[in-house]
Structure 1
Amino acid sequence: MRDYSIRAAGPDDLDGARAVMLDTVYRDFGSGYVPRWHGDIIDPATAYLVPERHTLLVALDPHSGEVVATGALDSRGPAHPPNPRHVAERYPSGRTAQLRRVYVRPEHRRRGLARRLVAELTEFAVAEGGYRSVYLHTDPAVPGAEAFWRSLGKLVHDEREDPEGASGVLHFEIPMGR
């Protein structure tokens, strides 16, 4: 197993992080870049480096130094719409640490990177204070996503069970300090 390093992203890491994120939304999600969903990908500094209580982590390949994985956290809870009202009310902005962009390049998967990123992000949320929960949503159509998040947290809402027009998104809570 390679000895990847994980650190808070700095300005020199942003191009590599952006490349991992864009590759993921095109390859794994099939949606490509959608401005209303992915604006933080284009400007990760404004989304994660500038605001207090936000962070962007990167994992670096020990041989090349290349960014091979990302994980971010911000203080914005899920908005309604598009998320169900009861989910947005349960996870209000300011008190919710939302995990975002936990992405690993395919050739670096199954080595514990995503799990390590999530652990460091939840530790960040605890250290920052003021957060009462860690939340995320995921698309179960992405291979491995549902099983991975179920192994780390509690499913709080499955939109596949909603009548009429559900997007199929899964909403999870991750234990604090995991």
Structure 2
Amino acid sequence: MTSRTRPPSTPAGPAVLQVTVSDPRARPLLRELGDEYTARYGGDAHAELARYPDEEFTAPHGGVLLLLLEAGEPVAGGAFRRYDATTAELKRIWTHSAHRRRGLARRVVAELEAEAGARGYRRIRLTTGPRQPEARGLYLSTGYTPLFDTGADPETVGLLPFEKHLPAAAHQGRGKAAGP
């Protein structure tokens, strides 16, 4: 897949670039993501990141997006893959540690939702870990419905699943079907 860049929505905002998982620009974010998961959960989180084949994150069923600063430096990113014929699953959402608290993760989620909707998906699913309160807060604040008891101790719940139904206009845009 050839990378494709979309200009930023605002002149000061990062540009959006569609890449493959193996694109060298994605490596620093994935490495830092693995390091953070390892620090929070122990073990080797890098193996978890390699659990899904790269093909699951490529068109027509999936994709990887990076936000790039003007200098071409990746500052945030995320991916989605096909969960079922009408549902995309968000994965690997990340903001570089030096660029957090600027709304970049919120932008990544919105861009991934838009791209998944344009590919015909009608619902988004995702999970986050119990030791990621920032991610839990992000998904709750961006309209995701928790599929777990939010009053329970997250450590007793385990993985925290969320879902969001996309507006009808989001998945009619390009007329592409998400199915095979």
Fold in common (TM above 0.5): yes
1:47 positional shift: 3.3
Alignment correspondent of 1:33: 45
Which of 8, 13, 16 aligns to 2:18? It is 8
1:53 positional shift: 2.0
1: CA distance between counterparts of 2:56 and 2:61? 11
Q: Which consecutive unaligned segments of at least 5 residues does structure 1 have?
A: 77-92
Query: Does the alignment pair 1:150 with 2:157?
Result: no
8 Å CA contact 1:17–1:69 kept in 2: the answer is no
Query: What letter matches 2:141 in structure 1?
Result: S
Q: C-alpha deviations, 1:14-72, integer Å up to 9, x for none?
A: 1221220121121245244343x22168x64x3323x412110001122x311121111
8 Å CA contact 1:158–1:168 kept in 2: the answer is no
Query: What letter matches 2:118 in structure 1?
Result: A
8 Å CA contact 2:77–2:92 kept in 1: the answer is yes
Distance 1:158 1:23, change over 3 A: farther
8 Å CA contact 1:40–1:47 kept in 2: the answer is no
Query: What letter matches 1:8 in structure 2?
Result: Q
Q: 1:123-162 alignment to 2 at 5 Å?
A: 123-129=114-120, 131-152=121-142, 153-158=144-149, 161=152
TM-score using structure 1 length: 0.72
Q: 1:34-49 alignment to 2 at 5 Å?
A: 34-35=46-47, 37-39=48-50, 44=54, 46-49=55-58
Secondary structure of 2:23 counterpart: helix
Residue correspondences, number? 153
Alignment correspondent of 1:19: 28
Alignment correspondent of 2:65: 57
Q: 1:95-106 alignment to 2 at 5 Å?
A: 95-106=86-97
Superposition misfits of 4+ residues, deviation over 3 angstroms = 31-34, 158-162
Structure 1 vs Structure 2 CA RMSD = 2.9
8 Å CA contact 1:22–1:33 kept in 2: the answer is no
